Amino acid sequence: MNIPFLDNWRKRQGGTRSGALAAAVEADPDGVAELLAECELLRVRAGQHGLELDDTPASLDALDQLPPRWRDDPEELPWLGNDAGLYLGTVIVRTVPGAAWDVWPSGQPVVRLESGREIDVVAAGLDWAMAGSPELSQVYAESAEN
């Protein structure tokens, strides 16, 4: 995941990118959550279909219904999938009690549920963008149950 401000912070601190993200999540979880919620490409593409993403589970259902035209652009596909995963994580963190962003040692942002279960939302977003499965709303529903 490329977050430019983390590179600058990491250089000043002498740490790794994953360490920088983990430290940022610990020091300012709300700020990192806002950063991860941007999902600019996904929001633009959804807007082109008249869909405003409002960070609710209903918006995940609506995303699942969009025609997957992004699959025609192999350069955009991974970026859109990454955004879809971060958006999924944003909805989970904002609506599932006890859910929060966390970082794996690899630097991958994940969502940790109150139960301790971790969800690799970026991988789920990439799978959704490439194959349509699992649906974002399905991943959310499974997360909300735990």
Torsion on CA atoms 82, 131, 75, 3, rounded to nearest 10 = 10
Identify the helix (H) or strand (E) that includes residue 119. strand 118-119
At 13 the pLDDT is: 47
What is the overall mean pLDDT for the chain? 88
At 18 the pLDDT is: 62
At 9 the pLDDT is: 44
Structural domain boundaries in the chain:
36-145
Beta bridge partners of 110: 102
Least confident of 14-18, 36-40, 49-53, 78-82: 14-18
Q: What is the pTM of this model?
A: 0.86
pLDDT band at 59 (very low <50, low <70, confident <90, very high): very high
Q: Does residue 115 have a pLDDT over 90?
A: yes
Cα-based distances in Å from 7 to 10, 16, 87, 120:
5, 8, 22, 22
At 102 the pLDDT is: 94
